[in-house]
Amino acid sequence: MLVPSKLPASDYVVNPYTGCSFACAYCYASFMGRFVGEPMEAWGSYLSVKVNAVDVFRRDLRRLPLHRRHSTILLSSVTDAWQGVEKKYQLARGVLETLRDERYPGLVSMLTKSPLVLRDVDVIAALDRKEVGITLTTTDDTIGRFMEVHAPRASDRLKALADLNAAGIPTYAFVGPLFPHYRYRRDLLEDLFRRIRESGTRSLFVEHLNTSSYILKRIQPLVDQADPGVKVVYQSARTEDHRRALSEMVRELVEKHGLDLRLERVIDHNLDKKHGGRR
């Protein structure tokens, strides 16, 4: 339950579920199906609940060597720990309660698309070091529905971010993936950055669309059904030229709105892969 991670900015990841009912078309975690005998295409249609996750996590945490007890733990990397079933199983909450009870001194970083995380503000507030990230890809609920089929609406996520800030919890926004149309609609990306700033959040990660072929295969049917212009935009998303233009736009907007870009770059999995995944 406490798995070493190569992700930027996290040392360990905790995933209480396998699968994710939010079913985002661009999700890179669709490969997780192989652990539960599900094909990639079925991502979003199954969910395996690790019912003993909290007990196993407690055991793993207690076994963590002393010199690792300041590591950053991310909840979660290949599922959303606050998706609907979390209301019933309360595994994310149980993991947080364990971290609180064990007085874990490292940073506990949470990342979700769900306002359900607000349920756990009491436990989160009691953690020594913490931050909650909300993934925001657009301010437009319609576009959200197109790509993030069953995830909470963009407007609800922005409100959740504001509520977390009002509760005094350190927050960040995760703007990823950067939808390709922003290259031609800077105003829409600017609106997103402005709204994040207005919510009280200053810090953000930004990530390009991961265009690995297994991901594009899931996105393609959606793009095919859309306006022909959308198809052209998504095709261009694979080029370095496109990524460079978007990265530049992000840099300008971050500066203009007084935001803090984590890692000082736009995360690019295509580049990371080319450089052996260690960037």
Q: Which residues bind ligand SF4 (CB under 6 A)?
A: 20, 22-24, 27, 29, 79-80, 113, 151
Comparing CB distances to ligand SF4, the nearer of 23 and 259 is 23
Strand partners, 33: none
Comparing CB distances to ligand SF4, the nearer of 58 and 209 is 209
Instruction: Give the rounded distance of the alpha carbon of 243 from its chain centre.
Output: 20
Find the shortest distance in angstroms from Cβ 267 to ligand SF4.
14
135 is written with which tokens? Answer: 């993934």
Find the shortest distance in angstroms from Cβ 83 to ligand SF4.
7
CA atoms within 13 A on the CB side of 263: 16
What gap in Å lies between CA 149 and CA 161, rounded to an integer?
20
Comparing CB distances to ligand SF4, the nearer of 98 and 135 is 135
Comparing CB distances to ligand SF4, the nearer of 46 and 245 is 46
What gap in Å lies between CA 270 and CA 265, rounded to an integer?
14
Find the shortest distance in angstroms from Cβ 181 to ligand SF4.
18
Find the shortest distance in angstroms from Cβ 176 to ligand SF4.
9
Comparing CB distances to ligand SF4, the nearer of 24 and 74 is 24
7 is written with which tokens? Answer: 């992700």
Find the shortest distance in angstroms from Cβ 113 to ligand SF4.
5
Alpha helix (H) residue ranges in 68-140? 86-89, 91-101, 121-125
